[in-house]
Copies of this chain bind each other. A is one copy, B any other.
């Protein structure tokens, strides 16, 4: 796909067809992320692919529980706007997507957040280029239960940076109007 078209087609997708994404396709998209730049070319980003829908639901439940507990401890969090949604038992933070990819890496690496985010941007473009839809699910990263972390294979020294869902979109909504960019100063 032409990049200019892709720019408009890469939309956050939260409504998917009931159709699995072949594992080989997920792996191809992950392969493209290796071309993303990383600090000192360390390429620290690693991947966990979750295609078991029951597991995706369990991860949703775990993340919601932890976020609600955070809100109980600290009601001033910006997360407050999502409290009602998070408390809804039927709400799956991963929007019933057929696939979830966690971008993880060594917790102590100073550039981890930037490195994984750049890889995730590549992932979202590469998926859109193949007709697939993605959405970065900020609410889906809070997996703290050691047993559950073990089940999905998060190494002890790693943290989850980016949870990105993947699937075939029911439809691709038009790009919404965005604000004009705020250029603070030209020197």
Closest-by-CB residue of B relative to A117 is: B117
Give the chain B neighbours of A78 by CB distance below 8 A. 110
A185 touches B (CB below 8 Å): yes
Complex Cα gap A3–B138 (Å) = 26
| Interface size, chain A (Cβ < 8 Å) | 69
B126 touches A155 (CB 8 A): no
* Cβ–Cβ contact B34 & A181, under 8 A: yes
Chain B CB within 10 A, most for which of A12, A31, A117: A117
Dominant secondary structure at the A interface: mixed
Q: Is A66 an interface residue (CB 8 A)?
A: no
- Which residues does chain B contribute within 8 Å of A81, judged by CB atoms? 40
Tell me, in angstroms, the Cα distance from A120 to B48 when the chains sit together.
25
B110 in contact with A113 (CB, 8 Å): no
- A88 CB-CB contact with B under 8 Å: no
Query: Using Cβ atoms and an 8 Å threshold, which residues of chain B touch A117?
Result: 113-114, 117-118, 121
Q: A9–B31 Cα gap in the complex (Å)? A: 16
In this assembly, does A178 line the interface, its C-beta being within 8 Å of a C-beta of chain B?
yes
Question: A55 in the interface, Cβ–Cβ < 8 Å?
Answer: yes
Pair A32/B55 contact, Cβ less than 8 Å:
no
Given contacts A43-B179, A113-B117, is CB(A185)–CB(B153) below 8 Å? Answer: yes
Closest B residue to A3 by beta carbon equals B129
**Distance between Cα atoms of A120 and B113 in the complex (Å):** 13
Q: Is A25 an interface residue (CB 8 A)?
A: no
- The reply to whether B121 and A55 contact each other, CB–CB distance below 8 Å, is no
Listed in ascending order, the chain A residues whose CB lies under 8 Å from chain B are 1-4, 6-8, 10, 12, 23, 27, 30-37, 39-41, 43, 45-52, 55, 78, 81, 104, 110-111, 113-114, 117-118, 120-122, 124-126, 129, 135-136, 138, 151-155, 162, 175-176, 178-187
